[in-house]
Amino acid sequence: MYELTINLQPGAKAPLYEQIYEHIKCEIQEGHIRSGEKLPSTRALSRHLEVSRSTVELAYEQLLSEGYVEAEPYRGYFVSQIEGLYHFEKREREHTEKEQKQERAYLYDFTPNGVDLKSFPYNAWRKLSKECLTDDRAELFRLGNPQGEYGLRNAICSYLHQARGVNCRPEQVIVGAGSDYLLLLLLMIIGSRHRIALENPTYRQAYRLFENSECEVCTVDMDGRGMQVDKLRESGADIAFVMPSHQYPLGIVMPIRRRMELLKWADEKPGRYIIEDDYDSEFRYKGKPIPALQGYDSRGKVIYTGTFSKSIAPAIRMSYIVLPPDILALYKKRCSFLSSTVSRVDQLILQKFIEEGYYERHLNKTRALYKSRHDTLLGCLREMKGDFTVSGENAGVHLLLHFTGRVSEKEMIERAAEAGVKVYGLSEYCVEKKEDVKEDETVILLGYANMGEEKICQAVRLLEKAWS
């Protein structure tokens, strides 16, 4: 029998059973404990290490499940034959760490895609998670409905109707692991015989997804009210991808007249559709939000998409798409065999989160937080010296600075970086050069969701020095 002496650290982050497991696993991997050798009994090892027997049993169970040891009835635990088993080399981790260290460190990051993770409702989420898993609910670990659980889809429908004016039934909703997956699913549903038009500039991830499909892709320039419908007609597209509630990255809120023009365009010919990406409509700080474009659609021309990544947390990875009747029929025919990409447990947690009012309270709290940071940033910018204008404010989690007669975008970004501040240029969102672009204009994006008010002020002061 192999004698085990393990230096346990009771105050360490790793629990005791994990320390025992890691020690034995390393000893086996390094050949210090050979195949066929018997390990101490759980009773003997717990007495030797002065820990509870259940702690040792947990460690042995983990080793057993991974195949490092085998249990023989009435005899005990023996080391398995592990030649050929794969294990990670430490040098790979060191290589990764070196690569990470090479990245430039910033004091402040004005990322336009940020969220405030400190405001995540940990207590509520933990409570609901515990409630969902308190009882033995084996059904939660079986494959569920391909479209997502009915209860969650029903909760999403209720929320969308009340908050966004969306008219839909649970049967029209598909829940998926992020907007990227749902757009890929949509491409599978509609097929490749389409020409898709996107705004310019636009959300580059959507453009990449469409570009790498078999569909034709083009861009349509915008004016101050959104995608220009006359140029959309000229493009020959039969599908338009738009963000009317808060266009990314320009922050334009499409007025009702332009929305009606878009719906008219879609209704002019059969087979035309609008994909409405309503990614952050929850965050509006002035005036009443305009209802979603889908709410005005009476002909089944709008495919509506939304996400919880912005309003709750990116790692939630739950988004949804609302299909009009014709597209829903195609889904049933072509793609209903695909399994849901979101765990049923996570779906149930989110369902309860919405139904029990936690989501509404979280939105109200987050909206107030972002408004405060939005107002702080605007106040600091008003005091900042320089010839620039601001656009895209009063909604979302970022705004834009327009500089005229200044240095290039690249140089302004570099100057900010030297001061320890990361900013973002509009050019990285432009797919094609706009016809009406101003040659002497530089546009910088500043996101404020992931920075506190004090840090926002400090960062703006550094930018003022860097750009003066």
Q: What DSSP letter does each residue of 25-54 carry, written as one string?
A: HHHHHTTSS-TTPBPPPHHHHHHHHTS-HH
Residue 350 shares a structural domain with residue 367: no
CA atoms within 13 A on the CB side of 348: 18
Average pLDDT for the chain: 89
The pLDDT score that the predictor gives to residue 394 is 87
Residue 400 shares a structural domain with residue 435: yes
What is the mean pLDDT of the segment spanning 161-181? 95
Give this prediction's pTM.
0.77
Q: Which residues pair with 70 in a beta bridge?
A: 78
Residue 276 shares a structural domain with residue 391: no
CA atoms within 13 A on the CB side of 180: 8
Domain edge (last residue) among 336, 358, 380: 358
Place of tokens 């969650």: 152
Give the structural domain span for 381: 108-117+361-467
Residue 26 shares a structural domain with residue 10: yes
The pLDDT score that the predictor gives to residue 88 is 47
Does the pLDDT of residue 135 top 80, yes or no?
no
Band (32; pLDDT cuts 50, 70, 90):
confident
Residue 340 shares a structural domain with residue 386: no
Q: pLDDT digits over 379-395, tens only?
A: 999 999 888 999 999 88
**CATH number, position 284:** 3.40.640.10
Residue 231 shares a structural domain with residue 349: yes
Q: Rounded to whole angstroms, how far apart are CA atoms 464 and 384?
A: 6
Q: pLDDT digits over 326-381, tens only?
A: 999 999 999 999 999 999 999 999 999 999 999 999 999 999 999 999 999 999 99
Q: pLDDT digits over 54-97, tens only?
A: 999 999 999 888 888 899 988 999 998 866 555 545 455 555 55
**CATH number, position 446:** 3.90.1150.10
Domain edge (last residue) among 333, 358, 383: 358
Q: Which residues pair with 306 in a beta bridge?
A: 320
> What are φ and ψ of residue 256, in 5° steps?
-60, -35
> What are φ and ψ of residue 466, in 5° steps?
-65, -35
The answer to whether 316 touches 401, Cβ cutoff 8 Å, is: no
Domain count, the chain: 3
Instruction: Give the E-state strand segments of 361-418 in sequence order.
Output: 388-391, 398-404
Angle at which helices 344-355 and 358-383 cross, to 10°: 80
What is the mean pLDDT of the segment spanning 162-171? 95
Place of tokens 């898709």: 196
Domain edge (last residue) among 303, 337, 358: 358
Residue 173 shares a structural domain with residue 260: yes
What the block records as the tokens of 99 is 């690569």
Residue 371 shares a structural domain with residue 430: yes
Residue 373 shares a structural domain with residue 227: no
Residue 159 shares a structural domain with residue 137: yes
Residue 349 shares a structural domain with residue 448: no
Residue 377 shares a structural domain with residue 321: no
Q: Which of 31, 40, 18 lies closest to 82 in space, CA to CA?
A: 31
The pLDDT score that the predictor gives to residue 468 is 83
Longest CA–CA separation in the chain, Å = 85
The answer to whether 74 touches 407, Cβ cutoff 8 Å, is: no
Average the pLDDT over each of 142-146, 219-223, 461-465 and give the range with the smallest value.
142-146
Average the pLDDT over each of 35-49, 86-100, 105-119, 413-427 and give the range with the smallest value.
86-100
The pLDDT score that the predictor gives to residue 435 is 52
Q: Rounded to whole angstroms, how far apart are CA atoms 231 and 237?
A: 10
The pLDDT score that the predictor gives to residue 316 is 85
